[in-house]
Amino acid sequence: MEPPGFAGREVRVFVPSRFDPQVPTPALFLFDGQNVFEGPPGQDQGWFVHEAIEGMDPRWNVAPLVVAIPSGTSWAEREDELTPWPTEGRGGRADAFLDWVAHAVVPRTRERFLLPEGALGAVVGGASWGGLLALHAHFAFPHLFGGALALSPSCWVGNFAIFESLRHRERPPFSRIYMDCGGREAEGRMLPPAEALAGELRARGYSRSQLWWRPDPGADHNERAWRRRLPRALRFMFRRGPRPGRP
């Protein structure tokens, strides 16, 4: 697929083994799709999201499809695509990239697979810049994405612009958010703003069943940490019904 103004890329889809084409199945749209399965050869960068989904208990969880959207191959391309606001003159083109996701990737997925109607049919997720964009996408397209899975979101982008952005957007009518961050990320500088953002969401009325803020004090900013936290994050996001408590 070729997003206008960005490099073309191959979008991959994982179909869980319990998938039934006659039953509506939600989809998880993940940024940095090149890392969400095994990752690049010879590097310990895979999230192994497919294994986490196959390990979900069907009594309590719905196993989603995974639509893996890879980022650009260079650091500058990735920053352009995944940051909604510029930082020191770099990046800030994510709204154009997100428009392609919303108006090309999501519709094509719905053409190919039977998804639940509206926001119930899709969750958007990512880590770092991708986690930031997942939060932004959920509030910018609440009719498309019923939830955001934000691992280690880079809340500092654009001088912490995500705070003011979410304050000026209505809370989505259907919303489930998972957020986490490691205490050793960026020498401890990433966790406090992520925790503050989770606090602002709680102040807007998010309950424990709608928002899980999950600090991980000893964790660094890397795929290994995200891979370790991912299974429980998925169980929270795709649980059947409003079960209280944590997965």
Neighbouring C-beta atoms of residue 133, cutoff 10 Å: 31
Token digits for 8? Answer: 């073309």
Which among 45, 46, 44, 64 is positioned nearest to 54, based on CA atoms? Answer: 64
Predicted TM-score of the model (pTM): 0.94
Question: Residue 44 pLDDT more than 70?
Answer: no
Question: Residue 9 pLDDT more than 50?
Answer: yes
Contact 233, 149 (CB under 8 A): yes
Q: What is the CATH code for 12-237?
A: 3.40.50.1820
- 113-122, 123-132, 156-165, 234-243: least confident range: 234-243
Question: Residue 49 pLDDT more than 50?
Answer: yes
- 28-42, 50-64, 117-131: least confident range: 28-42
Contact 121, 110 (CB under 8 A): yes
Label residue 244 by pLDDT band (50, 70, 90).
very low
Contact 29, 21 (CB under 8 A): no
Cβ contacts of residue 222 below 8 Å, gap of 6+? Answer: none
Question: Tell me, what's the pLDDT at 242?
Answer: 55
Tell me the per-residue pLDDT of 173-228, one tens digit each, with 9 for 90 and over. Answer: 999 999 999 999 999 999 999 999 999 999 999 999 999 999 999 999 999 999 99
Distance CA 222, CA 181 (A): 11
Contact 182, 148 (CB under 8 A): no
CA atoms within a 13 Å half-sphere pointing along the CA-CB vector of 78: 17
Token digits for 9? Answer: 């890329």
| Distances in whole angstroms, Cα of residue 201 to Cα of each of 29, 58, 159, 166, 246 | 22, 30, 19, 9, 18
Question: Residue 42 pLDDT more than 90?
Answer: no
Question: Tell me, what's the pLDDT at 45?
Answer: 77
Label residue 144 by pLDDT band (50, 70, 90).
very high
Cβ contacts of residue 238 below 8 Å, gap of 6+? Answer: 26, 28, 56, 61, 62, 63, 64, 123
Domain extents in the chain: 12-237
